[in-house]
């Protein structure tokens, strides 16, 4: 991931805590090899936008004994690590978001530890992993959903 270091450094020029953020991003890129850094506009609910560092890709998650690569987007606010990341599932064309208690219809993940975020040096990669794990699936296959709907599988 050393090849990403110069890019990350340049992306974080406007961030309040670039050194900690860079460490967290590089650690996440090492832990989850499919994630890629980007610098893109994020549109907030009020319609305002802000350019944020985004980690985009998949992370492996075990669900009922099977490993699934969950497509996610993680946006790091310019106050990172003192403000929580915005974590979203980002389904592929063959998937759909399974909204529920912790995921809205747009894929935004809403978990208590993200709502009650307090930076205490916690490991950022653990935050990523926890965002996609749990008893509830975050995304589901459209084919699987269709087969269930017509009674071919449970």
- Which of 130-135's residues contact partners 24+ apart within 8 Å by CB, and which partners? 131/72, 131/74, 131/87, 132/59, 132/61, 132/70, 132/72, 132/89, 133/61, 133/62, 134/102
Q: Residue 130 has what pLDDT?
A: 65
Q: Residue 134 has what pLDDT?
A: 54
Beta strands 86-89 and 66-76 are antiparallel
109 belongs to a structural domain: yes
Compute the distance between CA of residue 69 and CA of residue 133 in angstroms, rounded to an integer. Answer: 11
For residue 59, give every residue at least 6 positions away whose Cβ sits within 8 Å of its Cβ, in sequence order, or none.
Answer: 32, 34, 35, 69, 70, 72, 128, 129, 132
154 belongs to a structural domain: no
Number of domains observed in the structure of the chain: 1
Burial class of residue 6, CB neighbours in 10 A (0-12, 13-18, 19+): exposed
16 pLDDT above the threshold of 90: yes
Residue 149: pLDDT band with limits 50, 70, 90:
very low
Phi and psi torsions of 117, nearest 5°: -55, 130
pLDDT tens profile 88-126: 888 877 777 777 777 788 888 887 878 888 777 766 766
* Enclosing domain of residue 57: 2-149
* pTM: predicted TM-score of the whole model, two decimal places: 0.78
25 belongs to a structural domain: yes
Where residue 11 sits, what CATH number does that domain have? Answer: 3.10.110.10
């Amino acid at each position: 991931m050393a090849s990403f270091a110069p890019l990350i450094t340049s992306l974080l020029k406007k961030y309040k805590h670039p050194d900690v953020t860079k460490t967290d991003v590089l650690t996440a890129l090492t832990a989850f090899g499919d994630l890629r850094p980007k610098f893109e506009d994020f549109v907030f609910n009020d319609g305002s936008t802000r350019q944020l560092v985004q980690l985009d890709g998949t992370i492996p998650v075990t669900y009922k004994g099977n490993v699934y690569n969950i497509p996610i987007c993680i946006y790091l606010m310019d106050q990172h690590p003192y403000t929580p990341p915005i974590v979203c599932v980002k389904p592929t064309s063959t998937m759909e978001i399974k909204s529920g208690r912790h995921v809205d219809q747009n894929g935004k993940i809403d978990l208590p530890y993200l709502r009650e975020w307090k930076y205490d040096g916690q490991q950022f990669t653990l935050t990523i992993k926890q965002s996609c794990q749990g008893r509830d699936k975050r995304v589901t296959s459209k084919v699987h959903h269709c087969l269930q709907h017509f009674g071919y599988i449970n």
